[in-house]
Amino acid sequence: MKTLIIGGGNMGRTFASSFLTAHILRPADLTVLERSVQALDFLKSLNIENLHTRPAEYIKEQQLIVLAVKPQDSRELMPTIKPFLSDNHIILSIMAGVQIETLEKQLGVKKIIRAMPNLPAQIGMGMTAFTANLEVSRKELIEVQNLLSTTGKAIYFEKESMLDAATAVSGSGPAYVFYFMSAMMKAATELGFNESQAELLVWQTFSGSIDLQNKNPLTCDEWISKVASRGGTTEAALKVLSEHSTNESIGKAIHAAFKRSIELGKKQKKKA
């Protein structure tokens, strides 16, 4: 599938190198359009052969076009690529909050897939949620899923609203995990560990817990009960978390992210 990635920043370059490393695309079939000189230098170091700084006729030859620019840059980009697009193109947008309807209006194309990856995609451990409009065929959807799966796991949702939900859970999710880790590291330094000791204790605890869960999938409550004994240290910690309604705070945080994703989508729609 001849593929053009527009925007070779964090996500664009992750996609480009994952598609090539997994041998799903041949270098000749991958093109990147990127305007920043710095990003271009980095893309060259990834051995990406077809690099462009401006939209032009080459866009017409593509089958799949991945939109990997920031949502706020998309309004400027859309009119510059629209003259080269036709109904044969498949658009794959990874822009947070930009709805399919907005893309249909701005680009005037038929086939649109919207995906929400997350940061661990950079190391092939990403979680991507995706959806598509009815113009995308089953075969095209599977081909795109194969590409997305090179960055980790990919799950299809029929309802587009689930993309806002996935943005709140897995898209923003790595930040919640790092927030929790950072709080644990701060407490560790208060208990007398130096920073690198605190990092080691916390990182290995997270990494070990996830590996444990991956190998032996008990529920979170079952794992907690294996660590916490009656009257013990873990129970003392969990009591404080519960007294501070930490569970509910996490829930509220995820709902706030969901609400914000919908708001941003509406804003983009208004501007379109």
Ligand X SMILES: NC(=O)c1ccc[n+]([C@@H]2O[C@H](COP(=O)([O-])OP(=O)(O)OC[C@H]3O[C@@H](n4cnc5c(N)ncnc54)[C@H](OP(=O)(O)O)[C@@H]3O)[C@@H](O)[C@H]2O)c1
Q: How far is the CB of 15 from ligand X (least distance, A)?
A: 9
Rounded Cα–Cα distance for residues 113 and 100 (Å): 8
Residues 6+ apart with CB under 8 A from 107: 78, 81, 82, 85, 91
Enclosing H/E stretch for 252: helix 246-271
Please select the residue that binds ligand X; options are 2, 35, 82, 267, rule is CB under 6 A. Answer: 35
Rounded Cα–Cα distance for residues 149 and 173 (Å): 19
Which residues ranging from 53 to 82 are in contact with ligand X (CB under 6 A)?
A: 68-71, 73, 76-77
Residue with the CB atom nearest ligand X in the bound state: 9
Of the pair 41, 87, the CB lying nearest ligand X is at 41
Asked if residue 9 binds ligand X (CB under 6 A), the reply is yes
In angstroms, what CA-CA distances link 183 with 176, 196, 225, 239? Answer: 11, 15, 23, 17
Of the pair 4, 136, the CB lying nearest ligand X is at 4
Asked if residue 154 binds ligand X (CB under 6 A), the reply is no
Q: How far is the CB of 246 from ligand X (least distance, A)?
A: 25
Of the pair 167, 188, the CB lying nearest ligand X is at 167
Asked if residue 163 binds ligand X (CB under 6 A), the reply is no
Of the pair 58, 223, the CB lying nearest ligand X is at 58
Contact string (CB under 6 A) for ligand X, positions 97-136, x = contact: -------------------xxxx-----------------
Of the pair 64, 95, the CB lying nearest ligand X is at 95
Please select the residue that binds ligand X; options are 4, 20, 24, 95, rule is CB under 6 A. Answer: 95
Residue 29, phi then psi, degrees to nearest 5 = -95, 5
Q: Which of 172, 177, 140, 173 is nearest to 156 (CA)?
A: 140
The amino acid at 36 = S
Rounded Cα–Cα distance for residues 261 and 267 (Å): 10
- Enumerate the H helices of 65-219 as residue ranges: 71-81, 100-107, 138-148, 161-166, 173-190, 195-215
Of the pair 223, 260, the CB lying nearest ligand X is at 260
- Give contact residues for ligand X (rule: CB under 6 A): 6-12, 33-36, 39, 68-71, 73, 76-77, 94-96, 116-119, 171
